[in-house]
Amino acid sequence: MSDSSFYVTTPIYYPNGKPHMGHAYTSVLCDVLVRYHRLIGEDTYLLTGVDENASKIGEAAEAAGKSVAEFTDGQAEVFKAFYQGLGVGLNRFVRTTDTDTHWKAATEMWERLEKAGAIYKGTYAGLYCTGCESYKTDKELDDKGNCPDHGRPPTTISEENYFFKLSAYADEIKEHIKSGTFRIEPESRRNEILAVIESGLEDVSFSRPKEVVPHAIPVPNDPSHVMYVWCDALVSYISGLGFGTDDTTVFDRFWPAQYHVIGKDILRFHTAIWPGMLLAAGIPLPKAVFVHGMIISDGAKMSKTIGNVLDPQDFVNEFGTDALRYYLSRHISPVQDSDMTRASFVESYNANLANGIGNLTSRIMKMIDNYNINIEDMTFPSVHEVLDGDDVSEYHAAFRDNRVDKAADVVWGLMSFMDNYIQETKPFTTIKEDPEQATEDLLFLVERLYEVAILLRPFMPETAAKIEAAIEDGKALETALFQRTE
Ligand code: MSP
């Protein structure tokens, strides 16, 4: 047990379309981590939100025939409902259109950067990809001159911009990464960004002309410019805690963050630009950035043209919240790209949920009920005792590395031990010849089942609660936890 705080952030997502499986993955991963850390007694805080001041949001609003405000209000509700459908428990949902909190914080950040001499005016002539909301160089494009992530050419722009003097902070950022005061996990991503820094960090454009993105945050004292969307978006990690407002109690309690969890596509923003901004502003760096891989489907990036897009909402509607949480936690590697298809989902659903945890719980509870075994007076180990158990050490070790997939394997390992135990001891037969032995075996099994439920809490909170309630009632389940499907 620990009394430390555990503050985790997801990226704030662009709400120009429906939430997709990538958004679902990062959000579930963060929620599982937070639920685990809460289970072991830490003071947790989960922040997410939407990145609304991007030029692509203006374009999406226009395409929908709505004002930016109307469009983003609607999309914010869509994203909130999405989190609910995933069982993700949020402490804070940041909207970057919130002028009372977020705009104040972003303005405070800008002023600090300016005061530190880290902002200057210049001209940017080059390429910009609205899909990435990022400036591009020729060598970042494919052989057709397209952005490799968006399959279309960036626009050529020539603008007067304010620049952030990132180059001046390169050595300091590198030092923090090398000494481990700013950790980047896994190791391969740490090496990747160190190589980028060593090849030379250039200053970055930090503003756009107001007429290009009229709804974005104005640059202090220069209404003809607005903040570049990443300068604004990264600040959400502290604006959501009250930085820049009159009440900074939450900020003081939770900053620096334990982890910013991100996909590998936005590594440079989080491990070069963001630490550079914080160093210039005199704000402590987050302790770590955890970088996960991408979900691909049928060997390819999900795309409407290929037709391999998997909609998280369809999975929740068809199989339930916990089933999707299970799949994302156990079958998507937090450190590598992973393939997901409906077929692989259904196969695992049947094997590990319907025939796995569902069947195991039904069998045990049915025997307890049928054989009138009284478990009401049984004393179960406390949550604390379960977590201190010898067989749980690998579970904790996996969580120390954010390997939620491996932690889930430990729980399913315990279930296969229980399945074997039933096969070997056959309480359904011995109940006639040796009822005392059968009772003892079933009490042992129900205690293990209780342990499984506790360990499942971070991954499948609804299922864990149902198992715990069934054990409390000591009765057979009225409906199966998961129904087999084709
Ligand atoms: N708005 C920026 C982030 C600003 S954070 C200060 C952004 N938004 S996004 O909507 O494009 O979401 C990006 C994040 O979604 C990725 O970093 C990753 O976390 C997640 N994913 C997007 N596609 C994904 C997959 N196919 N697979 C897994 N996660 C991916 O970038």
The pair of structure tokens assigned to 170 is: 């390169």
Between 194 and 309, the higher pLDDT residue: 194
CA of 230 to the centre of ligand 1 (A): 13
Peptide bond into 256 cis (omega under 30): yes
User: Tens of pLDDT along 22-45?
Assistant: 999 999 999 999 999 999 999 999
Does the C-beta of 262 come closer than 6 Å to ligand 1? yes
User: To test the ligand 1 pocket, which listed residue (134, 237, 265) has its Cβ within 8 A of the most ligand atoms?
Assistant: 265
**Whole-number pLDDT of residue 84:** 96
Closest CA to 344 of 335, 355, 352, 334: 352
List, as one string, the DSSP characters of 295-354: EEBTTB---TTTT----HHHHHHHH-HHHHHHHHHHHS-SSS-EE--HHHHHHHIIIIII
**Whole-number pLDDT of residue 51:** 97
Does the C-beta of 110 come closer than 6 Å to ligand 1? no
The CA distance from 331 to 314, in Å, is: 18
**Whole-number pLDDT of residue 32:** 98
Pairing of strands 119-129, 92-95: unpaired
The CA distance from 232 to 237, in Å, is: 10
User: Tens of pLDDT along 347-393?
Assistant: 999 999 999 999 999 999 999 999 999 898 888 899 999 999 988 99
**Whole-number pLDDT of residue 1:** 40
Longest dimension (CA), the chain: 88
Pairing of strands 92-95, 43-50: parallel
Does the C-beta of 294 come closer than 6 Å to ligand 1? yes
List, as one string, the DSSP characters of 117-171: T-EEEEEEEEEEETTTTEEE-GGGS-TTS--TTTSSPPEEEEEEEEEE-GGGGHH
The CA distance from 198 to 291, in Å, is: 20
User: Tens of pLDDT along 405-434?
Assistant: 999 999 999 999 999 999 999 999 999 999
**Whole-number pLDDT of residue 3:** 54
Percent of the chain with pLDDT over 70: 99
CA of 294 to the centre of ligand 1 (A): 9
Pairing of strands 155-164, 204-205: antiparallel
CA of 58 to the centre of ligand 1 (A): 19
Give 151's pLDDT tier (boundaries 50, 70, 90).
confident
Give 21's pLDDT tier (boundaries 50, 70, 90).
very high
Average pLDDT over residues 252-269: 97
Residue for token digits 């410019």?
225
Average pLDDT over residues 50-74: 97
Does the C-beta of 9 come closer than 6 Å to ligand 1? no
Residue for token digits 């031990």?
417
**Choice among 80-94, 115-129, 143-157, 260-274 with the minimum mean pLDDT:** 143-157
CA of 187 to the centre of ligand 1 (A): 20
CA of 50 to the centre of ligand 1 (A): 11
Helix runs in 40-67, H state only: 55-63
**Is pLDDT of 243 > 60?**
yes
Ligand 1 nearest-atom number relative to CA 302: 26
Q: Do residues 421 and 443 lie in contact, with contact meaning Cβ atoms separated by under 8 Å?
A: no
Question: What is the average pLDDT value for the chain, to the nearest integer?
Answer: 95
Q: What are phi and psi of 59, to 5 degrees?
A: -65, -40
The CA distance from 240 to 231, in Å, is: 15
Does the C-beta of 281 come closer than 6 Å to ligand 1? no
Does the C-beta of 23 come closer than 6 Å to ligand 1? yes
User: To test the ligand 1 pocket, which listed residue (294, 335, 339) has its Cβ within 8 A of the most ligand atoms?
Assistant: 294
The pair of structure tokens assigned to 156 is: 């050529």
Give 2's pLDDT tier (boundaries 50, 70, 90).
very low
CA of 11 to the centre of ligand 1 (A): 6
Report the 10 Å Cβ neighbour count for 423. 8
**Choice among 49-63, 97-111, 366-380 with the minimum mean pLDDT:** 366-380
**Is pLDDT of 345 > 80?**
yes
Average pLDDT over residues 317-322: 97
Average pLDDT over residues 128-146: 90
Does the C-beta of 266 come closer than 6 Å to ligand 1? yes
C-alpha triplet 423, 426, 432: angle, nearest 5°: 170
Ligand 1 nearest-atom number relative to CA 266: 17
The CA distance from 379 to 135, in Å, is: 62
**Is pLDDT of 18 > 90?**
yes
Active site positions, annotated:
20, 23, 129, 132, 147, 150, 301, 304
Fill in the DSSP letter of residue 246. Answer: S
**Whole-number pLDDT of residue 459:** 98
pTM exceeds 0.75 for this model:
yes
CA of 380 to the centre of ligand 1 (A): 42
Pairing of strands 288-292, 259-263: parallel
**Is pLDDT of 108 > 60?**
yes
The CA distance from 65 to 401, in Å, is: 46
**Choice among 14-23, 66-75, 173-182, 370-379 with the minimum mean pLDDT:** 370-379
- Write the residue with the smallest CA distance to atom 18 of ligand 1: 263
User: Tens of pLDDT along 275-289?
Assistant: 999 999 999 999 999
Does the C-beta of 234 come closer than 6 Å to ligand 1? yes
Q: Do residues 190 and 177 lie in contact, with contact meaning Cβ atoms separated by under 8 Å?
A: yes
- Write the residue with the smallest CA distance to atom 17 of ligand 1: 263
Does the C-beta of 240 come closer than 6 Å to ligand 1? no
**Whole-number pLDDT of residue 304:** 72
**Whole-number pLDDT of residue 85:** 97
